[in-house]
Amino acid sequence: MPMIEFAFKHKLIKLQSDNYLDCSFFDNISFIYYLMVELSYLFGQFCIFADIYYNIMKIIFINTLRVLMILVIIISCGVAYVVYEDTLAAWWIPVRVALIIVIATIPFYKGWIWLTTMDDKVINCCCHLVCVGAISCVLFLGGNYWFADSASTHEEKVMVQKKYIETHKKTRRVGRHRYVSDGVRKEYYLQVAFENGNVETLHVSPSTYNKTKTGRPKILTLQKGLFGLPVITKGL
């Protein structure tokens, strides 16, 4: 562009000096030319800036989605665990439901490339298993619990067979790859027998644990869940 501009200017100056062009005409043409050159340069710079800005925003947006997706998976697992503790069902039931959904949707595993940034089939299938499995599990257990039939509410007497406490060590991070002991965490459980003979282990609060006596009956309030799994709504 500078070479073309120089040649054009040189030719106009020569024509002007030879009286082939009027000065006012020359000034107008020169002004228009330089204006077009400047506008073309500014437009080119704008396009470059817009492209850089678009790529930066795209990276930020995708990385934000990745962080949110990881948070969704962690929260889903936590919620599913909490809800399952109030659901009277074998562990393999929600797992089986989640696996059925995972298998049914496995043809769409390539949709996770944006999260894994890889074209590897195994990695994307594993990502599909974890993400869809966790979300399916929490939707199944949560839907069963939150949309339980209130008309089916009833009380059931159970016999407390055993009560026990599980102690877990807590740690806190004090440096890179360095952790120190930070006390203990206690979890309280009751092993109860239902009238139909089923024996369940229930995770209860400390106050419920302290009020409950081994060998004594306890009243639980149950409801029929949306998917048929009974849930405990009161008594824990």
Asked if residues 158 and 204 have their Cβ atoms less than 8 Å apart, the reply is: no
pLDDT score of 234? 85
pTM listed for this prediction: 0.74
CB atoms within 10 A of CB 89: 17
pLDDT score of 6? 47
Q: How far apart are CA 30 and CA 16, in angstroms?
A: 12
pLDDT tens for each residue of 129-167: 999 999 999 999 999 999 999 898 888 899 999 998 888
Domain residue limits, the chain = 2-55, 150-236
Handedness of CA 98, 103, 107, 112 (dihedral sign): positive
Question: CATH classification of 150-236, choosing from 3.40.50.970, 3.40.50.150, 1.10.3720.10, 2.40.50.660?
Answer: 2.40.50.660
In the predicted model, is pLDDT for residue 35 greater than 70?
A: no
pLDDT score of 8? 45
pLDDT tens for each residue of 5-16: 444 444 444 444
Average pLDDT over residues 121-133: 92
Q: How far apart are CA 35 and CA 39, in angstroms?
A: 6
